């Protein structure tokens, strides 16, 4: 597995397994066990995914040493603020059955972000998380909050795929060696992306499926990717991208697919209120 060194010196596997919208109570457990058996060593969950306990059980039951698995979770908006954030991380650790996570993120960029970040900085110093980062920060939001932080995030996890390559944001992050983690790296399963002639041409050339071409492009372009699936064949296939490389001309063809438009706009009015209303992790 290829790893990427973060700006705090820690290493993160370039391909992780995402569990957003995989139900708890069995499906998440089964999917994570399948992923670990297939060779994944990077699992990405969150308090607001409601499946941290399943992830923790799957990791424990896998028999793989804890130090060999990179685990990410995220603080939800309900727990922003200094004291609440510390309790939020402790709750996640309890559900996961772990003493620490490898990466802990502010899941959304709204509310008392500065004090929540201060709690994450202290949690890192205490060894409860090895690295800390943010998610869903656009260039505008990044410039609003990052100057308030004592330490820089290690990552910014955002929507990113060949149709939405986040070039402006990536240039901004690169100044401080902050890595971009791509959620929905296959574009929500967008058929127009998966069937794009440039991608199908390359899939035929390399004997791969469209998803593998997309993931190879993203990893080769320096991204950390978090594909999600519950299909065992697809789970394994999404990791099988390290025995071939695209040419620079092919990389440029894929870079040219960028439309600059994504599905989620963190700056849209009412987003924070909508998220809080629809995702309540506790009373």
pLDDT at 11: 98
pLDDT at 266: 97
| CATH architecture type of domain 3-278 | Alpha-Beta Barrel (3.20)
DSSP per-residue codes, 87-151: HHHHHHHHHHT-S-EEEEEE-SS-SSHHHHHHHHHHHHHTTSEEEEEEES--HHHHHHHGGG-SS
Tell how far CA 205 is from the center of its chain.
29
Query: Catalytic annotation on 29?
Result: no
pLDDT at 189: 74
Task: Tell me which of 29, 40, 49, 80 is the catalytic residue.
Answer: 49
pLDDT at 178: 98
Give me 180's structure tokens. Answer: 């971009």
Average pLDDT per consecutive 10 residues, the chain (283 residues; last block may be shorter): 97 98 96 98 98 98 97 98 97 98 98 97 98 98 97 98 98 97 91 96 98 98 97 97 98 97 95 94 91
pLDDT at 230: 95
Q: What span, in angstroms and rounded, lies between the C-alpha atoms of 228 and 211? A: 11
Q: What span, in angstroms and rounded, lies between the C-alpha atoms of 257 and 201? A: 14
The dihedral of CA 177, 135, 182, 12: what is its sign?
positive
pTM: 0.96
Q: What span, in angstroms and rounded, lies between the C-alpha atoms of 113 and 189? A: 31
Query: Could you count the other beta carbons within 10 Å of the beta carbon of residue 6?
Result: 20
């Amino acid at each position: 597995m290829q790893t990427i060194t973060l700006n705090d010196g820690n290493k993160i596997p370039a391909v992780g397994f995402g569990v957003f919208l995989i139900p708890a109570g069995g499906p998440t457990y089964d999917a994570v066990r399948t992923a670990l058996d297939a060779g994944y060593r990077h699992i990405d969950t969150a308090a607001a995914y409601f499946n941290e306990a399943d992830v923790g059980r799957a990791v424990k039951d896998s028999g793989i040493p804890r130090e060999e698995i990179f685990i990410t979770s995220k603080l939800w908006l309900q727990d922003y603020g200094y004291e609440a954030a510390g309790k939020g991380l402790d709750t996640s650790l309890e559900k996961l059955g772990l003493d620490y996570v490898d990466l802990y993120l502010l899941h959304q960029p709204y509310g008392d972000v500065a004090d929540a970040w201060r709690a994450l900085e202290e949690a890192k110093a205490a060894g409860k998380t090895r690295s800390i980062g943010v998610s869903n920060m656009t260039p505008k939001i990044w410039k609003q909050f990052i100057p308030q932080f004592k330490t820089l995030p290690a990552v910014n996890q955002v929507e990113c795929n060949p149709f939405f390559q986040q070039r402006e944001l990536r240039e901004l992050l690169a100044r401080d060696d902050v890595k971009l983690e791509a959620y929905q790296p296959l574009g929500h399963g967008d058929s127009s992306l998966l069937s794009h002639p440039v991608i199908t041409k390359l899939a035929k050339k390399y004997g791969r499926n469209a998803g593998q071409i997309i993931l190879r492009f993203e990893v080769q372009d320096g991204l950390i990717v978090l594909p999600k699936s519950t299909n065992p064949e697809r789970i394994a296939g999404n990791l099988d991208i390290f025995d071939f490389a695209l040419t620079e001309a092919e990389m440029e063809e894929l870079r040219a697919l960028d439309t600059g438009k994504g599905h989620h706009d963190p700056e849209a009015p009412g987003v924070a209120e909508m998220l809080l209303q629809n995702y309540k992790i506790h009373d």
